[in-house]
Amino acid sequence: MRLLPPARRRAVAGVILPLLLGAMVVRELDARHATGTTRVAGPSAVAFMQVVAHPDDDLYFLNPDLLQSVRSGAPVTTVYVTAGEANGQNVAPGRPAVATDHAGYIAARHAGLRRAYAQMATGNPNAVWTRGVLPTMEGPVESDTLGKRPNVRLVFLNTGNWRGSDGRMRRLMGLWERRVERLRTRPALGSPVGKPTSYTRAELIAQLDELMRRFHPSVIRTLDPAPERGTDQKGFEHRTDHPDHTATALMTREAARRYQKQVTGPVVTEYYRGYYNRHWPANLGPGAFQAKMSFIRTYGWADKGRFPCREPGGCGDLRTGDSGDRNGWPQSTHPRYTGSTRWMQPQADGRLVAFAVVSDRVTRWEQDRPGGGWRPGVPMPDPGFVSDLDVARLPDGRLAVFGLRVLRTAALTRPRYQIMYARQDRPNGPFGDWRDLGNPAGSTMVREHDAGAPVTAVDGAGRIAVFSRNSGQGVSVRYQNADQTFGPWIDLGGRRVQDGLTAGTDASGRIEVFGAAVPAWAEWRWNRQPGTPSLWHWRQPASGRPLEGPGAWTPTEVGATGPLTMVRDGRGRLSLVARQVGGPGTLVFRQRTPDGAWPDRPVSLPGPGGVGPVGAVEPSGAAGGGPLLVGRDASGGVGVSAGGARWQDAPGLFMHAPATVVDGQGGVVTAVLDPLGRLRVTRPYTSSGSGVDTARWQWQTVGVRAPGDS
């Protein structure tokens, strides 16, 4: 197969393409784009970009967030890096083999995607699309737009798998690791991009960067750059995700870094776990799961024969067909770097301060006075942060913020993963420089990637304990010493613990830590969770003393999944809040007495649906008693409940998890990060007994200070 010369040495412009495939109109798209040498305007309106490896990764791993974005009406662009040609046979499992046709199978997968997105956007999977050529500096790519929603776009780069003369396969991960110098593309049958091209690693990253600069996403989503580690039946250790997923995520992260440096507006980046979804508890309720499956079935051409298919390669991926849930992937959606709901806290003088990762940096917002307005966010020094954040409040009122940072090195394939913190040197004062707490893996670089988002607690002696999930799927801790330095990382044990830990301090000043997990001794089946998902629990023997491993496996009668949240009420009792496995409900485990035992059966409360941690506070005079709960609802907005009753919704999408605290005036304040990287705050609860009332929700939106503003 003859390759085209490198893209930078050819002009791509002005080609008028004929009509293809009946109603499919092919047209050329505008080739203008920024050169990347100067800063350009950042996103001024919400726009979403997904970058995934294979056709269907977005449907399996990013939904329902993808569906919510499409239905918001905002521009949505999804970029597929590989062709996903597999063995080139579009045939259902168990059916007789058909002739190998790589271009035809690629075309069928693309057709299935167009039908799934049309169903998400319009309700009609057979809505008309426009297929076109998008000229770029790295060569033309296919770009398809939905006729009734032209701001819904699919872009196909179509890198392929190729066997070299030495018999070895050339794949995307080899390109990332520079074991493969160039990777050729495979155009789909009937594609307006008729000829193959090729990419080096640098060119593919530049291609992604150019697409970001062209479509100005305010939110970038991709797959897991550091997937779970596991062992196969022979005992060999390996990553448990597809290497194409990992390579795509790593190249997207690098492209996003470049994009964020070139634009003036804030950008939010999100990462999602891939194949490992099938090993963790199902965290989608029945409605969300069925909606997700409906789009996967449409992609899989499960309705074959019920409509006229005019696509030359077929109208979907028959290898998926009607059985897309048998692999265990669609039952869950798990962000990779999940943190706590404690990223907003009151300072010593009562002013609230909030932290979030925006454009690769930690941004800090604070009130101008207790109960007052908010100042624009200020990016803190040093880039590379990827996790949600946890904020610890020290006994003297000082705050310390903790997060996970990926330090880019000269060798892109060997980044360093560091848990970092910055603290106020005095109450209400500025935050000092970031300090490195290292990694539970120590100097073992291959295991550094496994570090989880840090969570913290401060014991009765005023010392901070920092917890992180480790490469053994257990929990590690690092304690603050009396001189405010930190000791070494200590492995506390635990097995098959999910990321999304929580820690709190009881009435006696002892720290308690929980992590959601699946039974360590149950048979691990590849397509479903083993046994009832429950909890690992650690309790500090006394304030000022270290916690001790290996922790206690705590079975629960109702399946619990993380991320978890812990809160203490006015009597000193702790409550643990979890999502219910496979359902929209919320679970609350409450100590019977301060410092007392925990029940094995939680109180099951109606839930708002959605995924992610449910924030909790114990406001004085709360109507109905119990914690005020705040979490993501099934539509991607904010759901709030006083004591589990009367869940109320505040519509509109937000990113990551909400934070909710009691401020210095005794009122509850809830904050979210919106898709433009802005802080939005409200008071969803009144202590007068009126309960939660959406009519009272008056959001204040606070942006980020522009470069050069004083």
Over residues 290-336, the pLDDT tens digits come to 999 999 999 999 999 999 999 989 999 999 999 888 888 999 999 99
CB 600 within 8 A of CB 621: no
User: What would the two tokens of residue 278 be?
Assistant: 């099938």
Reported CATH class of domain 344-702: mainly beta
**Token pair belonging to 15:** 């080609």
Residue 524 is predicted with a pLDDT of: 58
pLDDT in tens, 416-463: 999 999 999 999 999 999 999 999 987 677 788 889 999 999 999 999
Residue-level pLDDT at 529? 60
Q: Distance between CA atoms of 117 and 66, rounded to whole angstroms?
A: 10
Q: Is the pLDDT of residue 373 over 90?
A: yes
Greater pLDDT, 609 or 156 = 156
Does the pLDDT of residue 14 top 70, yes or no? no
- Residues contacting residue 42 through CB under 8 Å, at least 6 positions apart: 216, 218, 263, 264, 265, 266, 267
> Within 10 A of 587 (CB to CB), how many other CB atoms are there?
24
- E strand intervals along 506-573: 511-517, 534-539, 552-554, 560-568
Residues 471-499: what's their mean pLDDT?
Answer: 93
Closest CA to 221 of 562, 653, 633, 655: 655
Q: What is the 3-state secondary structure (H, E, C) of 296-326?
A: HHHHCCCCCCCCCCCCCCCCCCCCCCCCCCC
CATH number for the domain whose boundaries are 48-300: 3.40.50
pLDDT grade for 180, boundaries at 50, 70 and 90: very high
- The first and second tokens of residue 405, run together, are 């940072």
Q: Could you tell me if 244 and 53 are in contact, meaning their C-beta atoms sit under 8 angstroms apart?
A: yes
- In this prediction the pTM is 0.92
Give the contacts of 310 (CB within 8 A, at least 6 positions apart): 21, 22
Write the pLDDT tens digit of every residue in 94-133. Answer: 899 999 999 999 999 999 999 999 999 999 999 999 999 9
Written as six digits, the tokens of 333 are: 């959606």
Give the pLDDT score at 399.
Answer: 97
- Quick one: average pLDDT of 326-351? 91
Tens digits of residue pLDDT in 28-86: 444 334 444 456 666 789 999 999 999 999 999 999 999 999 999 999 999 999 999 99
- Name residue, tokens 């706590």: 340
Contact indicator for 334, 280 with CB cutoff of 8 Å: yes
Give residue 185's pLDDT. 97
- Crossing angle for the helix pair 201-215 and 243-262, nearest 10 degrees? 50
Burial class (CB in 10 A: 0-12, 13-18, 19+), 405: buried
Rounded to whole angstroms, how far apart are CA atoms 316 and 319? 9
User: In this predicted structure, what is the pLDDT of residue 319?
Assistant: 95
What pLDDT score was predicted for residue 20? 33
Q: Which tokens hold the place of 570? A: 């006015």
For position 621, what pLDDT does the model report? Answer: 52
Q: Please name the residues in contact with 654: beta carbons below 8 A apart, sequence gap of 6 or more.
A: 632, 636, 637, 638, 672, 673, 674, 675, 680
Mean pLDDT of the chain: 87
Q: Where are the domains of the chain?
A: 48-300, 344-702
Dump pLDDT digits (tens) for 240-292. Answer: 899 999 999 999 999 999 999 999 889 999 999 999 888 888 899 999 999 99
- Do 76 and 52 contact (CB within 8 A), yes or no? no
How far apart are the C-alpha atoms of 238 and 232, rounded to whole Å?
Answer: 8
| pLDDT at residue 198 tops 60 | yes
CA distance 486 to 440: 13
% of the chain beyond a pLDDT of 90: 68
Q: How far is CA 495 from CA 362, 396, 595, 705, in A?
A: 31, 36, 25, 43
Residue carrying the six token digits 């392929």: 160
User: Cα dist. 693→610, 632, 645, 672, 683 in Å?
Assistant: 20, 17, 12, 18, 10
More confident residue, 163 or 193: 193
Per the model's pLDDT, the better-predicted residue between 152 and 3 turns out to be: 152
Percent of the chain exceeding pLDDT 70 equals 87
- Cα dihedral 180, 186, 187, 193, rounded to 10, equals 30
